[in-house]
A and B are shown apart, each in its own frame.
Chain A
Amino acid sequence: MSGQGEARRIAGLGQRSGVAFTFDGEVIEARAGDTIAMALWVAGRQVLRASSRDGAPRSVFCNMGICYECLVVVDGATVRACTTVVHDGMRVERGGRP
C-alpha cells in the first residue's frame, strides 16, 4: 500500500515525520500535518461515508470545510475529515449509516 501511497505524493516535497492512525480499524500511515481526508486519499481510501438516504458512497468534495460530505467519526465525535489534522493513534471511522 505504501508504494502506491507515495505515488500520490508530489515528489521532492521532502521527508516529514510520520504518524499512524486507524480507519475502520485498519492502520493508515500519514504525514504530520495531513488532514484525515488527505491522508486517506493518499492511502487510496476515498469513500468516507455512506449518504444519508440512499447509502451511496461519498468522498471528499470541497476539501475546504464547506460541504460536509467528508464527515467521519473520530473518538465518538463527528468531524470534517478535510479540516481535521491527523494525530498519532487517532481512531477514525467511516461516517453515515451503519
Chain B
Amino acid sequence: MAETADVVVVGGGIIGCSVVHHLAQLLPRSARLVLVDRGPIAGATSGSCMGHLMVTPDDAQEYAFSSASVRMWRELHERAPVFDYNPTGALYLADTPEDLELLPVLQQQFRDHGDEAFVLDPPQLREREPGLAHDLPGALYYPGDGVVLPMLGAGAMLREAMQQNVHVDVRPGCAVHGFDRDGDRVAAVHTGDGKIATRTVVNATGVWAPELAGMLGQPRLPIYPRAGNLAITGHHVTPIRTQLLEVSYLRFAHGVAQVDPTRTDGDPGGHAVNMQPQTHGGCLVGSTRQFRGMDRTLNRELLHRSLQRAQRYAPGLAAAPIVRTWVGLRPYAIDKHPLIGPWPPVRGLFIAAGHEGLGISLAPITGLLLAQQIAGLSPAIDHTPYLPARFAR
C-alpha cells in the first residue's frame, strides 16, 4: 500500500521548514506531514545566504508583515536558543550629503508605524560602532533588526515541529520526480523514496519553484535566481559589532530590478554594503545582485568591489581573514512580492516562494500565513498581496 500524507512540503529550505513548523501546530494531532528535499535541509539558498532579520518600514502592509516575522524569530529563539541570534540592530550608513538627507526620511517611516529609529551624528555613531571609518557623516540606527544563522534556525523549527503531536517526517536527499493528478487536483507525489499519496502539496523550492511547477504542467512561475557573492571572516577578529547597511542598500535591494531578470546575460550586476556580525565573532560581508541564471561561480570582480566598498565603512575588515567566499541564488519574484498561498489552477497545490533577499527574515510569517490557509483558518495579517493567483491568469 502506498504511503500517504496529509501534506507533502517540497523544499527543505527555511521557507519549507517554517511551513512544517506552523502546520505541525495548526493541523489536527493525527496529521501526517512529510518534508522532502533533494539535498540537505537548509543546504541550498538557506545555507548560502546571510541572516538579516529586517523590518522594512516602506508602507503599513510591509511593516506589519516584516515586523511580525522578526518578532516570531525572536520568540523562537527565546523558546529554543539553539541557533545563533544576534540582536545587533542595524545601522543605515550615510556616505554622502544626499545619503544624510535620507536618514530623517527613513526615520519618519519607522515613526509612522509607531516604531523608533535614531539619527546619529558622527560622535554618536563612533560610540555605537567603534569599528567604523571616522569620516562618516552619520547614520540611522534601528534597534529592531538582528542576525540569525539560518541553517541552525531551520533545524530549530523542525525540531519544534517534531515535538508536536502530529507526525513529522523529514527526508533530506529525497528528490521529487513527478506528480499524479486526479482531475484538477493533486493526488500523489513521486519521490526517490517512492510514491506518497496526498491531497496537499506545498512548493517551497525557491529558485527551483518554476521547475517543480513545470512537473505539474503549469506555466513558468515568474521567479528568477538573483545571484549574490558573499564572504565570511574568521571568528577571531570581529571588525564590527552592529549590522551595517549603506543607505543606498534600500534602493538597491528593495526596488523592482532595473534589468530584465528573464535574461541571463544582460545584467552587469551591482552591490551595496551589508555586513552582519554573528554572535560567535564571524562577520558576513555582502551584498551583490546579478541575474545570470543558475550560475553559481564566483564573480570575482563584483565580489572584490563589494569587499572594497565594505572596507571603506569598516576599515578593520581589510586585515580580517576571509575564510570563505561563495554564491547564493535568491528567488526573485518579478513584482518583488513573495508568492504565498494556493495555486488555483491545481487544487491542493500551494506555493511559498519568491522572497528574494528576505526569505530568512520573512520565513516565520510566511510559514504561518500558508499553514493558516491550508488549515482553513483566517490569516494573521492581510495576505492578499502575496497570493500567487495574481500570476495564474
Contacts and interface: CB of A to CB of B under 8 A. Distances in A.
Please determine if A and B sit in direct contact within the complex, based on CB atoms under 8 angstroms apart: yes
Contact of A53 (B237, B280, B316): B280
Interface string A55-83: 00000000000001001010011100000
A71 B319 CA distance: 13
Given A76-B316, A76-B319, A78-B320, A71 B280 contact: no
Contacts of A76: 316, 319
B321 interface: yes
Given A71-B234, A71-B236, A96-B236, A78 B280 contact: no
Contacts of A68: 234
A52 B280 contact: yes
A52 B237 contact: no
A8 B320 CA distance: 33
Contacts of B235: 52
B148 to A, nearest CB: 16
B87 interface: no
B47 interface: no
Given A76-B316, A76-B319, A77-B319, A97 B237 contact: no
Interface residues of B, number: 10
A52 B236 contact: yes
Nearest to B319: A77
Interface in A14-59: 49, 52-53
Nearest to B235: A52
A77 B322 CA distance: 12
A53 B234 CA distance: 13
B84 to A, nearest CB: 9
Given A78-B319, A78-B320, A73 B237 contact: yes
A54 B298 CA distance: 33
B311 to A, nearest CB: 13
A49 B236 contact: yes
A91 to B, nearest CB: 14
Nearest to A74: B319
A40 B319 CA distance: 23
Contacts of A95: 236-237
Interface string B269-305: 0000000000011000000000000000000000000
A97 B235 CA distance: 9
Given A73-B237, A77-B319, A78-B234, 5 more contacts: A52-B236, A53-B280, A71-B321, A76-B316, A78-B319
5 contacts: A49-B236, A52-B235, A68-B234, A71-B236, A78-B237
